[in-house]
Amino acid sequence: MAHITFKGVGIKAISACVPPKIIYNKDLGYLIPEAEIEKVIHSIGIHQRRYTEAGVCSSDLCYQAALKLFDDNQIDPASIDGLIFISQTADYKVPTTSTILQHRLGISQACLSFDVNLACSGYVYGLSIAFSFASQMGVKRILLLVGETLSKIISQKDKATVPLFGDAGTATLIEKGDYPDSYFSLNSDGSGANIMEIPYGGARHPSCVKSFEETTDEDGNTISGENIHMIGMDVFNFGIRTVPSDINQLLAFCNKRTEDIGVMVYHQANRFMTNFFSKRLKLSPEKTPYSMDRFGNTSSASVPLTIVTEMFDSEKYTQRDCVVMSGFGAGLSWGTGILSLTNTSISELVEYK
């Protein structure tokens, strides 16, 4: 297992942007029997989600989040040395979206930039990559843009995914400075690659007539080979086997105990799963902010989105010197980060215009 310590780098600022269109889970009567809808909403803890309009991409949400971050913190785009874009819904297959964002944001050409293809573990991974670069001589600031528009790649006739997923884009500025140490644990298990996958549309199984054909499974879910396929029971099995133990091991690595956790920001998978983790970790509910009731599961964007929506108010979640972040999902890929957000400026959530 990869355990990493960083010194002298930290998060200067975080912002997030969601599309204005609200989708209500109570309106899913076409998909789920009316009698069950309340039960599903109660169990997953997701009431509403946001969807982008056609033509609005993850990168567009990240772009507006980045503008907000620059504006709120008087950041000169010329001061950015690197831009990392993390998404599974990039603008194009070729080229990378990161260069398009570098140009749109007016960041200098002397800026390293690349895309990373990761799902729900993406923010924790992205922070570790950004912290690595910012630890090097010659790099002061990295802009980490993490966004997802899962509305574009799920089947609207699939009960396993529709009630969960929403769209969001975020921006995080990482820089060298007088920040406390931070710790990361990063993990992988490709034996579970098929638990969450889009089978077609890549080089392994290119898009073809068959890949767009819809089939209906025994649970009544209709889905094509171009949509996300998710085996919910195995995702849960994966989560309970890996997430609480990864958090505990990283706490032990940096000589902390569960009681030292100030804020626990889970990837907003669903409430059933995160409640299970909290119970296992014996973590009190006042330490675990949630945004999923209003925004659903936004994959890699869910951790920074939750920080923005729940911690913008500095009166809430005041013990910010030990913030634990946990991401887990497709890959399988999972990770934990432990860091301080004491010196982090958090912007108010913006709606996409």
Partner 1 sequence: MEIKQFIADFAAQFDDTDPEEFKAETKFREIEEWSSLIALSVIAMTDEEYSVVLKGEDIRNAQTVQDLYLIVNSRIQIDKLNG
Residues that bind partner 1 (CB under 8 A): 36, 39-40, 43, 159-160, 219, 231-234, 236-237, 240-241, 272, 276
Rounded to a whole number of angstroms, the minimum distance from the CB of residue 308 to partner 1 is 29
H/E segment holding residue 147? strand 141-149
Q: Are 14 and 304 in contact (CB under 8 A)?
A: yes
Instruction: Annotate 260-296 with b (16+ C-beta within 10 A) or e (fewer).
Output: ebbbbbbbbbbbebbeebbeebebeeebbbbbbebbb
8 Å CB contact between 76 and 135: no
CB of 232 to partner 1, least distance (A): 6
Please provide the size of the chain in residues.
Answer: 353
Measured from the CB atom, the residue of 27 and 38 that comes closer to partner 1 is 38
Tokens of residue 27, six digits: 């309106």
Nearer to partner 1, 43 or 342 (CB): 43
CB of 339 vs partner 1, minimal distance in Å: 29
Cα separations (Å) of 111 from 78, 83, 106, 192?
A: 9, 7, 11, 35
Q: How far is the CB of 125 from partner 1 (least distance, A)?
A: 25
> In the bound complex, what is the minimum distance in angstroms from residue 272's beta carbon to partner 1?
6
Looking at the Cβ atoms of 214 and 217, the one nearer to partner 1 is 217
3-state secondary structure of 112: strand
Nearer CB in complex with partner 1: 18/28: 28
Residue 55 or 190 having the CB closest to partner 1: 190
Q: Which is nearer to partner 1, 112 or 231 (CB)?
A: 231
Minimal distance in Å, beta carbon 231 to partner 1?
5
Measured at the CA of 134, the angle between CA 130 and CA 137, to 5 degrees, comes to 145
